[in-house]
């Protein structure tokens, strides 16, 4: 028996997969660097840059002042002049501090320069609630970013995708946001040691089924899988699709799932009103209306800031129980 078989699969937590993805990008690309608040000495507030300062030095792991506008501006300027920066925005909520740089510079510059500049900027940021960090450190704003022509938006739900998406984003010649989830940091799965890419613009069917489609984003994929297990006991064979790529969105995989199941639900942690789930619903009714046997349901957070209270926050975040309840409602069971 080989050593690999004796050892079994290589399991890695989400947080370590982020570190490994960034490290391998820095090893591959001499003109890549990391910049952000506390990325160097502290290794980031979540610890996923630990060890990189000692390995690559302070010219490639750059601690910045507390200025998101300046950090994003650094990334845009460096990318336009030949570097491939990895910019860290500690909490997704802080994008409000630099939205002009994102929306009017990063997203538009290569179009306004007639293709004379490329913007290979990778932005890593943390979204989601569940750590009692209150309304200014717990939001999911992927729909904001997806509305900007010129940027790509990814949401890895597991360690394998986190590493592969970071590598794919860093190799892309466009601005790419990799929106990670702070409640997923300890989740483990099999992650290869070598470099690999998770293709941008491609969803993943993580559970095959024929009776109902659940389209989920980020950590909600795990809640959807738990819901599917419960629904299996009720005789409902659910297919779970990990959306993974918000922009570009993989409508082909979504439509193929609808053609099998004829009923669907979309779930995300972001506020339900105006969330990206509404875009998925719209595209499905445009492209697969004749295959639908019922309106597509949506599960999301209430139209409210994220509460600080642990008890209220638990009620705020969508979960498997709410998904089950909505599926039963659509099916009339």
Q: List the catalytic residue out of 137, 147, 222, 262.
A: 137
CA distance 85 to 29: 10
Crossing angle of the two packed helices 276-288 and 251-261, in degrees rounded to 10: 60
Helix/strand/coil for 62: strand
Residue environment code for 19-52, b if the CB has 16+ CB neighbours within 10 A, otherwise e: bbbbbbbbeeeeebbbbbbbbbeebbbbebbeeb
Give the strand order in the sheet containing 204-207. 204-207, 238-242, 212-216, 264-271, 297-301
CA distance 216 to 301: 13
- Is 137 catalytic? The answer is yes
Q: Please give the DSSP secondary-structure letter assigned to residue 9.
A: -
Cis before residue 66, ω within 30 degrees of 0? no
Active site residues: 137
């Amino acid at each position: 028996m080989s050593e690999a078989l004796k050892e079994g699969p290589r399991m890695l937590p989400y947080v370590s997969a982020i570190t490994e993805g960034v490290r391998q990008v820095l090893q591959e690309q001499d003109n890549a660097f990391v910049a952000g608040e506390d990325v160097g000495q502290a290794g980031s507030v979540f610890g996923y840059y630990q060890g990189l300062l000692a390995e690559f030095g302070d010219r490639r792991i750059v601690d910045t002042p507390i200025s998101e506008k300046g950090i994003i501006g650094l990334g845009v300027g460096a990318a336009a002049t030949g570097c491939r920066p990895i910019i860290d925005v500690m909490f997704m909520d802080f994008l409000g501090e630099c939205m002009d740089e994102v929306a009017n510079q990063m997203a538009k510059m290569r179009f306004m320069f007639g293709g004379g500049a490329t913007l290979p900027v990778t932005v890593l940021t943390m979204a989601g609630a569940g750590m009692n960090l209150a309304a200014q450190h717990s939001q999911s704003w992927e729909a904001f970013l997806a509305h900007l022509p010129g940027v790509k938006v990814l949401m890895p739900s597991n360690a394998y995708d986190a590493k592969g998406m970071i590598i794919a984003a860093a190799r892309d010649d466009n601005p790419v946001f990799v929106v990670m989830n702070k409640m997923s940091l300890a989740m483990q799965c099999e992650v290869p040691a070598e470099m690999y890419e998770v293709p941008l613009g491609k969803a993943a069917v993580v559970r095959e089924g024929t009776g109902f489609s659940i389209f989920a984003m980020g950590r909600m994929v795990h809640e959807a899988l738990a819901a599917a297990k419960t629904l299996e006991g009720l005789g409902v064979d659910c297919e779970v699709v990990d959306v993974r790529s918000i922009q570009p969105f993989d409508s082909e995989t979504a439509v193929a799932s609808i053609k099998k199941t004829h009923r669907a639900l979309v779930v995300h942690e972001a506020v339900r009103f105006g969330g990206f789930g509404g875009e998925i619903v719209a595209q499905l009714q445009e492209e697969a209306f004749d295959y639908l046997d019922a309106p597509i349901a949506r599960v999301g957070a209430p139209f409210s800031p994220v509460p600080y209270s642990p008890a209220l926050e638990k009620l705020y975040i969508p979960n498997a129980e709410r998904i089950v309840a909505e599926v039963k409602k659509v099916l009339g069971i």
